[in-house]
Amino acid sequence: METTPYTEIHTPETLIGAVRFFADEDKCFEYVCAIKWPGGEVCCPECGTISVGKIKSRRLFQCREKQCRKQFSAKVGTIFEDSPLPLSKWLVAVWCIVNARNGVSSCELARSLGITQKSAWHMLHRIRLAMQTPTYRKIRGEVETDESFVGGRLKFMHKHKQAKVKAEFGPKGMNKTVVQGMFERGGELRTQVVPNSQARFIHPGILKNVEPGSLLYSDIATHYHGLEKYFRREVVNHLYHYAIGINHVNTLEGFWSLIKRTIRGTYVAVSPKHLDRYLDEMTRRFNLRDMPDGDRFRFVMTDILGRRLKYAELVDAQ
């Protein structure tokens, strides 16, 4: 089979262009094929041979090896695997979540695509999995580090929920989830969910993501004590000021504000057990914020391979 190299495939640059372009299921099929097999040689996922035939009427491939003869689609080995939804809906969904600055809720996506909320919810979590920021290199130079607490306020909860939270977390109901962030000025942002803000949970994330010897900007929180052995440190006391020249963590403070406004305005509520994927989504969008919509879409589509999230895994996590 001859497949157009991915670098030569046309990608729309606007939402209306994406809807029109991906309305053709054959174009969607060729688009995903070109991402999976950029050289044009389709290989069997079962035996690895390149002796593969194309079933044009069903947009499927079949291995020609007598011992195999497996039929497979372009979805195999991607976040789309085993989904009954057509690629025309999948690719528009990827476009929407990648380029919607404040996110897209499952209810909104379900109405837009004409599918159930349950399917849209699973679809969005699959796409968020593809939006995980790769961490192959350590960030370096001038790095801001900070934490924030994400969760609902006790006074806004229903009475039965308040009683449950107070019983589990005490009378003050401190049930919020701690998220940690590290931002390389002029570079990328890294975020993760941590059990709490103790040093034994904060230090490993910084040591894993930040190059030793970097200049670390932080507030005066005691859980940063001990990092002086690995980094140069500048500290800002928020009781008196939020910035002393370039000594600040305002970029991360702005990002925390963006996360909380997105959750409150778009998602309304987010389960702590799924918060890490919502962080992946918003972090990746933040890191690609200077790209045009078409480039951002292409960039995320390169990460759909080798990642799969089954619905049973999501349900078990709740």
At 220-271, the pLDDT tens digits run: 999 999 999 999 999 998 888 888 889 999 999 999 999 999 998 999 888 8
Mean pLDDT of 65-70: 86
Fold of 142-270: Nucleotidyltransferase; domain 5 (3.30.420)
**pTM, entire model:** 0.86
Spatial contact of 187 and 141, defined as CB atoms under 8 Å apart: yes
**In this predicted structure, what is the pLDDT of residue 170?**
61
Measured CA to CA, the distance from residue 166 to residue 159 in angstroms comes to 10
Mean pLDDT of 155-179: 72
The residues spanned by each domain of the chain are: 6-133+308-317, 142-270
At 283-301, the pLDDT tens digits run: 999 999 999 999 999 999 9
**In this predicted structure, what is the pLDDT of residue 121?**
94
**In this predicted structure, what is the pLDDT of residue 2?**
38
Q: What is the mean pLDDT of the chain?
A: 87
Measured CA to CA, the distance from residue 284 to residue 189 in angstroms comes to 8
Spatial contact of 79 and 130, defined as CB atoms under 8 Å apart: yes
> CB pairs under 8 A, 24+ apart, for 271-277?
271/318, 272/151, 272/177, 272/193, 273/317, 273/318, 274/125, 274/314, 274/317, 274/318, 275/150, 275/177, 275/179, 275/193, 276/192, 276/193, 277/125, 277/128, 277/129
**In this predicted structure, what is the pLDDT of residue 144?**
94
